[in-house]
Structures are given as C-alpha cells and as structure tokens.
Amino acid sequence: MTALVDARHVTKHFRIGRGQTVHAVDDVSLAIAEREIVGLVGESGSGKSTFGKTLVGLHEKTSGEVYFEGERLPQRYRPADFQRYSRRMQMIFQDPYSSLNPRMTVGEIIGEGVRLQGGSNSAAIRSEVDDWLERVGLERVHAARYPHELSGGQRQRVGIARALILKPKFVVCDEPISALDVSVQAQIVRLLGEIKSSMGLTMLFIAHDLSMVRYLSDRMAVMYLGSMVEIGPSEAVYSQPLHPYTQMLVASNPEPDPESERQRATVPIAGEIPSPINVGQGCRFAGRCPHVMDMCRSVTPELRGAAGVEPDRRVACHLYEPATSD
Ligand code: SF4
C-alpha cells in the first residue's frame, strides 16, 4: 500500500544549554497509508506529541525527512508553507480551550481557515460553518457563542470542525480526549470514527487510553522516551503485546466494559519515565524492565520483525530473535 505520510528517521532534539540536549524524538520512522488510522500511545514524556507536531511542521526537524503524497516537506516551515499545507494537513489539539481564540465567536473560529485561504465569500463560509456545526453535533445557534460559553466536549467539537472544514487528507489528533470527562471521550472518539469513514481521512491519533486507540485505530504504535518500541495491528498489539513496556501499558489500562474490568487485575505501571536529557546507548526501558539482561544496557535494540511473530508486527527488544527476512 502507498503511504500518504512517510516519516523517515525523524529526530527532534531541544538544546537546553550547558551542553544538555532533550531527546524528545529519536530516529522514528512511520509510514501511514491513505485512509489508515495509526494510534500512537505511551506515557507523558514519551515524545508522542512532539512527533505529531514535527510531522505537520509545528516543530522544525533536527534530522530526518517527512514525505506527503511523495513530496518531501520542508525541514523548517515558513509562513507560506503553513498556508500551502494547511489544506492537506491539520491538527486537532489536546486542550480545546487554550487552542481557541477567546475573542472570536465559534462561527468565526470555524470559518477562519477558509477565510485565510481566500476561497469563499462570507455567505458561502457561513453556510459551510453551519454544515460543519451540524456534522460535529452542534447547533447553528452555537455559531454566535464564545468558547467560554461552551462545555469541554462542545469546545473539542469546535476544534474538530475548525480542522476539518478545510477538508484535509491527513489529521494529527493530539490527545483530543484526555482533557474531557469519560462520558464525553467516547462521544468524541465515535464522532472521529464517523468522520473518518465519511471523509476517508488518514489520521495519527495520539492518546493515553489504549482502549480508545484499539477501538479507533487500524494500527497501534508505542513510544517510550522518544523511541518507537512496538507497532502492529491494533488488536494484535493490545491482545498480545510483545514489548515489556507495551505489556505494562496494557496491564495498567482500565477496560471500558465494567464486567471485563472486574475480572481482570489492573496493574499500575511501575516506576517513572526517566529524563530525556542526554540519553545514552542501550535500551531506554532497561531501568524499568523486569526482563533486563546485560546486553540491554549497552546495545540499543532495533525496531524489527521478530521470529515466530506475524510479519506486520515490529518490536525493539532483545528478547526476540530477528525475523529471518530482516
Ligand atoms: Fe527489557 Fe532488554 Fe527488551 Fe529493553 S531490550 S525491553 S531491557 S528485555
């Protein structure tokens, strides 16, 4: 399958002075096919959001390349690049409140992108805004309201409409549900699923909640301390996680079904993600891994296929022999 978005060896470091460097994202490659949803999971500090922002040009890449429909995207975006690519790539942000201009009405916020692109007159923009209000489950009267007059779920619906009114092909959803109540989270995920089917969207869906990612995504990718440690079909990764870190994430994830949750012991994740400053050689998970071996502390495991495991799965762990084709 041809990739719509193809990130190759993307690295994003932040220099913070005194010779220190934050390794936010290190050598991450990910190809996303047209109409595919890839869910990206990991604890806070794993680099998921930085990777998503780097894909759409909100962070300059330290190294690596991103291709969109075969075209290599700029290393560093200029204002004209945002104008050029915003019709094709958009981002839905984690905190709907801080990402919406409090001085603009909902109608102005949703229609702003179309206005900036200069493609429609006022009446046409109003009609498109009304259409999108309806598609995201809001009413026309909401167009005259301000963000502070809406609930968290309604604000996130506005954020979704604002991103999708430009009919992008690719959307990065950066933890779009984590600031919302549990009951609203499911509604937003369902809405994204419906829109994905009707628009044929391609998405990178970044989230903490593995159950939501499993429901919405075709594939699930797991990041730890700036590196990708596992990727494969969502159902397979969730039901048979290979990497010890993924196993811990799954074991600590509450089941949405109360009956299944009662029958299962949820195990909190032990320890904390270490500092991403000046990360050295070896497996980054070695300090927390129950299976750590001597070689794990000196040899960095590669993300690759594993012997005896389905060929569409990849894992970065010395516990697995490489697949014969790798
Ligand atoms: Fe654990 Fe070693 Fe695998 Fe890292 S490489 S996850 S430390 S077994």
What's the mean pLDDT in 272-300? Answer: 90
Q: Residue 260 Cα, ligand 1 centroid: separation in angstroms?
A: 29
Q: Within a domain: residue 200?
A: yes
User: For the chain, how many structural domains are there in total?
Assistant: 1
Closest CA to 41 of 210, 174, 173, 241: 210
d(CA 209, CA 198): 24
List beta partners, residue 67.
6, 72
Q: Within a domain: residue 15?
A: yes
Q: Is 228 in the pocket of ligand 1 (CB under 6 A)?
A: no
Q: Within a domain: residue 213?
A: yes
Of all protein residues, whose CA lies closest to atom 5 belonging to ligand 1?
317
Closest CA to 104 of 162, 176, 165: 162
d(CA 10, CA 7): 6
To test the pocket of ligand 1, the residue of 283, 288, 302, 304 to mutate (highest count of ligand atoms within 8 Å of its CB) is 283
Predicted confidence (pLDDT) per residue in 165-207, tens digit: 988 999 999 988 877 777 788 888 888 888 888 888 999 999 9
To test the pocket of ligand 1, the residue of 243, 273, 285, 302 to mutate (highest count of ligand atoms within 8 Å of its CB) is 285
Q: Within a domain: residue 267?
A: no
Q: Is 248 in the pocket of ligand 1 (CB under 6 A)?
A: no
Query: Hunting for tokens 């159950």 — which residue is that?
Result: 211
The overall longest dimension of the chain from CA atoms, in Å, is 67
d(CA 275, CA 187): 35
| Closest ligand 1 atom to 289 CA | 1
Structural domain span for residue 24? 3-88+168-243
Q: Within a domain: residue 24?
A: yes
Lowest pLDDT segment from 31-35, 220-224, 250-254: 250-254
Residue scoring higher pLDDT (268 or 52): 52
Q: What is the CA 219 to chain-centroid distance, rounded?
A: 12
The domain that holds 217 is classified in CATH as 3.40.50.300
| Closest ligand 1 atom to 318 CA | 5
Of all protein residues, whose CA lies closest to atom 3 belonging to ligand 1?
317
Q: Residue 206 Cα, ligand 1 centroid: separation in angstroms?
A: 24
Q: Within a domain: residue 123?
A: no
Q: Is 301 in the pocket of ligand 1 (CB under 6 A)?
A: yes
Q: Residue 306 Cα, ligand 1 centroid: separation in angstroms?
A: 14
Predicted confidence (pLDDT) per residue in 9-25, tens digit: 999 999 888 888 899 99
pLDDT score for 326? 57
Q: Within a domain: residue 315?
A: no
Predicted confidence (pLDDT) per residue in 243-259, tens digit: 999 999 999 887 666 56
